[in-house]
Amino acid sequence: MNDLHQLDVTALAARLAAREVSSVEVTQHFLARARAHAHLGAYLALNEDASLAQARAADARLAAGERSPLLGVPLAHKDIFVTTDFPTTAGSKMLEGYRSPFDATVVRQLADAGMVTLGKLNCDEFAMGSGNDNSAYGPARNPWDTERVPGGSSGGSAAAVAAGLAPAATGTDTGGSIRQPASFTGITGIKPTYGRCSRYGMVAYASSLDQAGPMARSARDCALLLSAMAGPDLDRDSTSLDRPAEDYTAGLGQPLAGATAAQPLKGLRIGLPKEFFGDGCAPDVLAALRAALAEYEKLGATLVDISLPRTELSIPAYYIIAPAEASSNLSRFDGVKFGHRAKDYADLADMYKKSRSEGFGREVQRRILIGTYVLSHGYYDAYYIKAQQIRRLIAQDFQAAFQQCDVIAGPVAPSVAWKIGEKNDDPVAAYLADIYTLPASLSGLPGMSVPVGLGAAGMPVGMQLIGNYFQEARLLGAAHHFQCATDWHTRAPAGC
């Protein structure tokens, strides 16, 4: 029983289905670990009564003979998804104490699949950040080195999975916030095609970019979770795609057509953008990537040199578009109907100022100001429209690249995880850390992070795989074959 946290979702589901352990026992084990590792700052809220009630319901379904891939398995949710049984803060004082009257669609879908919610996980305030040190409730810490960031904004999710405080977690990815923390903590995470997962009940940051996705130890686990999370939600989410849900585990371990068991990826063309492998990427990260690519060649894949010429323009484009949408989305939090209200104020205008100044942190205020500026009269055409035009060109670069390859590989981030607070006084340095994840986000493409080695100071390194629209199954398959041949995804930080 003491080894339950060492099992992945697939293994836990098998033991639950065989009735070797109950969902209540598994849930109690993870709740105890969450409390014992509170110093990591991964969880913002627990509700043992609610979690155990869900576990008992799952056990009843199992006892009745029901079998489904996720039934009885616990997970935790990034505190950007609203939940009825747990408070939702989005990592901000602005929403402190808020309880939603409904569950987010993603939360409901996973509950319908039989998963048990352990609690809510720390995140950068309103998902704005690259290190999870913008949370109003303190930073989440990387279990590989507690003086380092776990990545952001889904840092609590990444830390919880890496430390064995949850077998899986939900995250959101606006500019890389699933892939980058997955890379920094040595776990697997996937951002699906924009619109694949419903945004209903996800506290909005940048509506044309935000996308939910799973974070777990392996590609197989992510495939199980994404199969439950994805699907149309047209009545609730206008950005939801009218495409049926898929079983991403189907054929996951099968060789590609015409390939062999020894070389299951024969025929797969992996594109290597020259812009991703230049001087901007740390040597230790590049060394881990080159070793992983050599393994892919052993599995039968072919490496193809490609170019994504507008990669460097993704940062200015993103940091115009995302703040612009944030300034609009966060305008509702004014102390009148939504969010924190200041106790002392002279008039309505003063209440607005004080409520928003007290409720929002520095990074959120910075992005609201930037967004308001670029949307203002005289600057909308010069900045916002121009950024949207560049966004279209970046998407066209990807489509040209996919004429030469099937998937694109490269680094997730230019370096391993940095020290907590290291970039706090230089926000641009933190923004630059998103250089390799932003292009896929701006284009709405699916992307994932796969553990491929250890870099400086023994910190994890992830490889980013990017696919064309709706090619999540291809990405997960390529990652799964790599993980069958290597053990990087099974490595755990010391003491966990």
Catalytic residue among 51, 78, 157, 354: 78
Question: In the annotation, is 153 catalytic?
Answer: yes
Phi, psi of 127 (to 5 degrees): 65, 25
Question: In the annotation, is 191 catalytic?
Answer: no
Numbers of helices and strands, H then E, in the chain: 15, 11
- According to DSSP, the residues that pair with 461 across neighbouring strands are 453
Alpha-carbon gap, residue 58 to 113, rounded angstroms: 10
Catalytic residue among 100, 135, 177, 227: 177
Helices 48-63/9-17 angle, 10° precision: 50
Tokens encoding 151 = 């990545």
Tokens encoding 482 = 């790599």
Alpha-carbon gap, residue 321 to 139, rounded angstroms: 26
Alpha-carbon gap, residue 154 to 138, rounded angstroms: 14
| Tokens 């696919």 belong to residue | 467
Question: In the annotation, is 78 catalytic?
Answer: yes
- Strand order through the sheet with 460-467: 43-46, 116-121, 74-78, 168-173, 211-216, 188-191, 447-454, 460-467, 407-411, 269-273, 302-306
Q: Among positive and negative, which fits the CA dihedral 142, 360, 385, 196?
A: positive
Catalytic residue among 100, 130, 135, 153: 153
The residues that are catalytic are 78, 153, 177
